[in-house]
Structure 1
Amino acid sequence: MQNTRGHILWIDDEIHHLKPHILFLEEKGYILSQAANGQDGIALSEQNNYDLILLDQSMPGLDGLETLAELKKNRSSLPVIMITKTEDEWLMDEAITGQVEQFLIKPVNPSQIFMACKQTLEKIKLHEQKATSDYLKEFQEIEAQLSNELNVDDWWRLYDRLTDWQIKFDHYNDTGLGSILKEQIQTCNREFINFIESNYESWMQSNNRPTLSVDIVPKYVKPILDKGEKVCLLVVDCMRHDHFKSMMALLEPFFNIKLDYKLSLLPTATPYSRNAIFCGLFPDDMVKKYPKQGDDMKNDSTSLNQHEKQFLIDQLKKMDLGDKRVHYHKIWAVEEGNKFNNRIKDYLQQDILALVVNFVDILAHKSSQMDVLKEMVPDESGYRTAVRSWLNHSWLLQVLKKLSENNFTVILTSDHGSIRVQRDVMVAADREASSGVRYKYGRNLNTKEKNAIVIKEPEKFRLPVFGPQPSYIIAKDDVYFIYPNQAHKYQSKFKNSFQHGGISMEEMMVPVAIMKGRG
């Protein structure tokens, strides 16, 4: 039986008339069992582990629908193909809600039956084979592309392709290509880091640069407000591109989605990249205009984004949009999210609704602290699954539905992404250095340059200068920083966890989704 294509039970009161069909399926490699009524079919199903049931609707005694219900009670995942003479829509509806795989109308020829069986039993295998063939071809194309000089748009398209393959392989675990894709992403990341090192400093001094965190409001929000339309700026903290792509299917029933991208500022962390979205300023100018923010950053405060509402209001005033009605809301707990959802009608008259949602970031950080979350989010695939499941069952999806129905354009983005860290790297720093795992600032910080960008002149990177002999170190690849005297403690805590602050495609290349309601 191991060499067969599957074991099928065919239940039909006229089974003796179906000998040609049965012989045809057996020639194709299937094993066929037969039952002439629903009761016998149910009994056989309870005694045998069939791969598929072919079920007639019009039978004396138990009809097809009644038999279907009993079969599903015994094994809810058992695939069933229903075959009937009638084309009544009510019957189709009942069969579909009863979880049949396909609905065939008699008369059916042997080839039709074979095709239906093949599609039901082998579709995953066929999809996996096609995915394997397509990826191996694309693997070569991507490798060849890396030998060319890529601009930032090229890098986004390449990263987008890799992300699509990550999500596809989430569904097809048996291809054996997941490890190859992971290695290819690592290879691409090394080239991407070289690209950033070669270009980032010049971008900081020029208007001829990619879209950065500071450009989100001017480029995406302002044009909507200028037309007198309502907009929601939704920042999902720490959301990666693959997270958004995995959530798109949940959003598309309500929105037409146009996907763009931006680069997070360095370091890829909230004090720099998220504050830059709301104030529209590079970090060096931000701390000059808002000294209190600079003090918080210098002291490595636990709250480094408490001024975002004021930042946004000031940025709108600078763009002559100071008359717009603004509501800002930061949501870090489900209770607060539910309260916001219940009161959404109070905010629908605002011109701009600014939301910051922290779930994805909290999940990343807590997964390094709680064993149960480490098991739920062991890798990138688990992280995507957790984020998608959260959105599907969260207050946020309900809010987005209501915004889509009330003429809001939603600009959904993130401040930065994250990367799963694997390798610890020793760093030399004094006790005044900041506490980041993927970036640090302080006096005379040092580590090997193959593992990090070491910045001795912060002003060239538009970074604040805190005290004498200032320096920053920003991690490359999948490394995280540890101190020699606490190496074991941090190794056990952070290895395989998701962190941010450094340079990688996952951290820097952030989606910007322009979402307009379908209604």
Structure 2
Amino acid sequence: MSLAKILWVDDEIESLQSQKMFLENKGYDVHTLTNGFDAIDYIKENIVDVVLMDESMPGITGLETLAKIKEVNSSIPVVLITKNETENLMDEAIGSQISDYLIKPVNPNQVWLSLKKIIDNRRLVAERTTTAYQQQFRNLFMALNANPDYNEWMGIYKNLVYWELSLQRSDSPEMQEVFHTQKAEANTEFFKYISRNYASWVSGKTGNKPVLSHTLVREKVLPQVEKGVPTFFILIDNLRFDQWRAIQPIFAESFRVVEEDTFYAILPTATHYARNAIFAGMLPIDIEKKFPQHWKNDDEEGGKNLNEEAFFRAQLASLGEGSMRVSYTKVLNNQAGLELVANIHNLLNNDLNVIVYNFVDMLSHARTEMEVLKELAGDEVSYRSITTSWFEHSPLHQALKKIADKNIKIVLATDHGSVRVKTPAKVVGDKQTTTNLRYKHGRNLNYEKRDVLAFREPKEAGLPSPSVNSSYIFAGEDTFLCYPNNYNHYVNYYRNTFQHGGVSLEEMIVPVVTMVKK
């Protein structure tokens, strides 16, 4: 490893020779200068890892030198060293993007610690994270094999997401491989768990069940609504828990998280089913019975999510909340987003404002179709990165910033997540069989039993029967369902794309987060 190059600028540099020697003994290459002008010229001609700079120098101050250095190379870390402890100088220094601030007299260990923090931070964090995960690996393994219940599964998945995001900073491909194997094992066990328990959850045969899509509003949203405090129920379509964690720091700039929880998306984990269930407060089989004119099956023409507001108002009425002042806004494109920004203050007069924001879902579909997005979102890390970049610059973020100083509540949730599919499985069906990759329904479906969770009676899964003898099948883990004709083409086309509709931790265990203003 090459020596880190340090430039130390101080008009009394002669008195710091012992400190210079201390750092050189620690393995740093230290070059010294006595004024800001020479420092600026030196930076133009030489590679420097960190600048240590005195604030009070004759001719040009440390802060003035800092500004010039940042003009030459904005990414060079600068540590300001000063006798002056006044708050306005500290504020000015921090505002000028210094990396650290030391008060004279400094001892050698102080300077060394500051350099380690700046230069070695990534490596040290990565090493510590790898060691910590190695210690946690056995605990996770034991948790997976202890027959976890639905609450423990939510804890296991949160834990896996924590380590996935932590190991993202690690430079250890071996440890990443170990983690991905463990996550795959978790999804295998989760698929078995859902296969054993899902039917009893939706049939009402067990009282011990998680919050599901159709109970989300009743159990997680309405309890937050109080007179005089506008509540915003924001549903970002297809937002996985790891994607929430990626955008959480942006929310944290303006809002305080009161509760970060998860709930279970119903099957199929697809917008048509899961989101209609959220707004109707019913399972799809009951929506079809109560609103036959509004429910459309997969194989029918027309939009499948055009009646959410009607469903939602009917749910409120059935819960005795029909008099509540409610707004419903759906954002499907950038123009609708800009209209939300312009209108957000008017929503403060309501008790509850529903905002459905379609972006992540469009991103996952576009990623399947567009080669450039396959490059940009090639894996989970880049998928999270694109989601973060979108949210930071989105009209939704702009709109929320406009009301961040108001006394409001936010309940952020989603309808389902998605999973990156890798393993093809053959399915044979008749002409009416649906084309979805993570679930299918139709008559006379032929499949390998081990690949899917099957419901020969759709009502057992709380689902309508599109036709006589229809059955539903759901892919588990990272499987995607393909027809035998033109099989290799479709396998290659869809492998490594993000899909939803089936049974996986990523699709089913999704965020519901309550926030208030800071």
TM-score higher than 0.5: yes
Q: Tell me the equivalent position of 1:80.
A: 78
Which deviations, in whole Å up to 9, do the C-alpha atoms of 1:322-364 show, x marking residues without a partner?
A: 1122211111111111111101223221222111111010001
5 Å-filtered alignment, 1:105-116, equals 105-116=103-114
Which deviations, in whole Å up to 9, do the C-alpha atoms of 1:426-459 show, x marking residues without a partner?
A: 1101111112111111111121122111221111
Deviation at residue 484 of structure 1 after TM alignment: 1.4
2:282 is equivalent to residue 284 of structure 1: no
2:223 is equivalent to residue 223 of structure 1: yes
Identity %: 37
SS of aligned partner of 2:261: strand
Q: CA RMSD in A?
A: 1.8
Q: Tell me the equivalent position of 1:272.
A: 273
Contact kept in structure 1, 2:238 and 2:415, CA below 8 Å: yes
2:196 is equivalent to residue 195 of structure 1: no
2:126 is equivalent to residue 128 of structure 1: yes
Between the aligned partners of 2:371 and 2:146, the Cα distance in structure 1 is 43
2:9 is equivalent to residue 11 of structure 1: yes
Name stretches of at least 5 consecutive residues in structure 1 with no aligned partner.
none
| Paired AA for residue 478 in structure 1 | D
Q: Tell me the equivalent position of 1:260.
A: 261
Contact kept in structure 2, 1:300 and 1:435, CA below 8 Å: no
Q: Tell me the equivalent position of 1:40.
A: 38
Q: Tell me the equivalent position of 2:51.
A: 53
Name which of structure 1's ranges 25-34 and 308-317 shifts more when overlaid on structure 2: 25-34
Between the aligned partners of 1:433 and 1:507, the Cα distance in structure 2 is 22
Deviation at residue 211 of structure 1 after TM alignment: 0.8
Q: Tell me the equivalent position of 2:213.
A: 213
Contact kept in structure 1, 2:130 and 2:170, CA below 8 Å: no
Contact kept in structure 2, 1:244 and 1:511, CA below 8 Å: yes
Which deviations, in whole Å up to 9, do the C-alpha atoms of 1:232-261 show, x marking residues without a partner?
A: 221111011111111111112333321122
Q: Tell me the equivalent position of 1:154.
A: 152
Given the superposition, is the C-alpha separation of residues 87 and 228 from structure 1 closer, same or farther in structure 2, using an over 3 Å criterion?
closer
Contact kept in structure 2, 1:300 and 1:434, CA below 8 Å: no
Given the superposition, is the C-alpha separation of residues 30 and 352 from structure 1 closer, same or farther in structure 2, using an over 3 Å criterion?
same
Between the aligned partners of 2:288 and 2:228, the Cα distance in structure 1 is 32
Contact kept in structure 2, 1:230 and 1:351, CA below 8 Å: yes
Between the aligned partners of 2:73 and 2:405, the Cα distance in structure 1 is 40
Name which of structure 1's ranges 398-407 and 235-244 shifts more when overlaid on structure 2: 398-407
Between the aligned partners of 2:132 and 2:464, the Cα distance in structure 1 is 47
Given the superposition, is the C-alpha separation of residues 265 and 12 from structure 1 closer, same or farther in structure 2, using an over 3 Å criterion?
same
Deviation at residue 86 of structure 1 after TM alignment: 2.1
Contact kept in structure 2, 1:224 and 1:230, CA below 8 Å: no
Contact kept in structure 1, 2:9 and 2:52, CA below 8 Å: yes
SS of aligned partner of 1:239: coil
Given the superposition, is the C-alpha separation of residues 405 and 77 from structure 1 closer, same or farther in structure 2, using an over 3 Å criterion?
closer
| Paired AA for residue 192 in structure 1 | F
**Corresponding residue pairs, total:** 515
Name stretches of at least 5 consecutive residues in structure 2 with no aligned partner.
none
Name which of structure 1's ranges 365-374 and 67-76 shifts more when overlaid on structure 2: 67-76
SS of aligned partner of 2:446: coil
5 Å-filtered alignment, 1:417-436, equals 417-436=417-436
Contact kept in structure 2, 1:128 and 1:175, CA below 8 Å: no
- The two structures have a TM-score, normalised by structure 2, of 0.95
Q: Tell me the equivalent position of 2:297.
A: 297
Deviation at residue 230 of structure 1 after TM alignment: 3.4
Contact kept in structure 2, 1:238 and 1:417, CA below 8 Å: yes
Q: Tell me the equivalent position of 2:456.
A: 456
- The two structures have a TM-score, normalised by structure 1, of 0.95
Return structure 1 stretches of 4+ with deviation > 6 angstroms.
none
SS of aligned partner of 2:120: helix
Deviation at residue 182 of structure 1 after TM alignment: 1.6
Contact kept in structure 1, 2:127 and 2:170, CA below 8 Å: no
Q: Tell me the equivalent position of 1:508.
A: 508
